[in-house]
Amino acid sequence: HDFLAHVERTLLLVHVLDLEPLDRSDPVANYETVERELVRHDPRLAGLPRILALSKVDLVPAAAAESTREHWQARLGPEVPVIATSSATGVGLDRLAAELARRIPVQEPKAAPPPGGEAPAEELAEHRVFRPAASRAYRVERTGAGAFRVTGAGVERLVARYDLDNEDALAHLERRLKGIGLIRALEAEGFEPGDEVEIAGVAFELDPGA
């Protein structure tokens, strides 16, 4: 509930709802869990303006993504913008940025802290993510020189979606792995670009910098 204490100061809530959760959880249930926790913590939060960003729409057919967006728009009403987005392709990000700029009140800039001093804690920006479940658990182990194995149900399902013989698919997968922090975890174990990584029994060279 430390996260919720920070939310008390916000002026706008943005739900980022994963259309393809790695743990295959129900997006509707995930949304309702967050809403329930917010209102339980502070009923005032129920009245804050909201934006719903449907993420990872690149992983579902375009028609299905639009159908899902329309469903959520009807569910939440015209006051809540529902935007289909993808960090991988950039779809919807310009509209999301525009909605944020339109809905966040302009505030006068605060005076700079005195030289050598620090801004009061309440003036520091807070950017936190609340996840209803730990869906990105995985384990990284070094199996030899330039070789690593990654285990975890979520990441194994993610890899299974891609044709690793296809360069475009592999590049997309590398971006996804970077996005969930796996590249950083591999680097902590000594990984270097071009090393071999095994996930779900499939070994492939991973070169995220290429």
Regarding whether 162 and 63 lie in a shared domain, the answer is: no
Please determine, for residue 127, whether its predicted confidence score (pLDDT) is greater than 80.
Answer: no
Residue 130's pLDDT band (cuts 50, 70, 90) = very low
Residue 67 is predicted with a pLDDT of: 94
**186 by DSSP, 3-state: which?**
helix
What is the pTM assigned to this prediction? 0.52
Q: Taking all residues of the chain, what is their mean pLDDT, rounded to a whole number?
A: 79
Residue 71: inside a domain: yes
**Percent over 90 (pLDDT), the chain:** 19
In a domain, 123, yes or no: no
Dump pLDDT digits (tens) for 158-167.
Answer: 788 778 888 8
Supply the range of the domain harboring residue 201. 139-205
Classify residue 9: in a domain, yes or no: yes
Predicted confidence at residue 112, as pLDDT, reads: 52
Residue 43 CB-density burial (10 A; 0-12 exposed, 13-18 middle, 19+ buried): exposed
Residues 21 and 90 occupy one common structural domain: yes
- Residue 131 falls inside a structural domain: no
Cα angle: 171, vertex 136, 126; to 5 degrees: 100
Among residues 68, 93, 111, the one where a domain terminates is 111
Residue 163 CA to residue 167 CA, distance in Å, equals 9
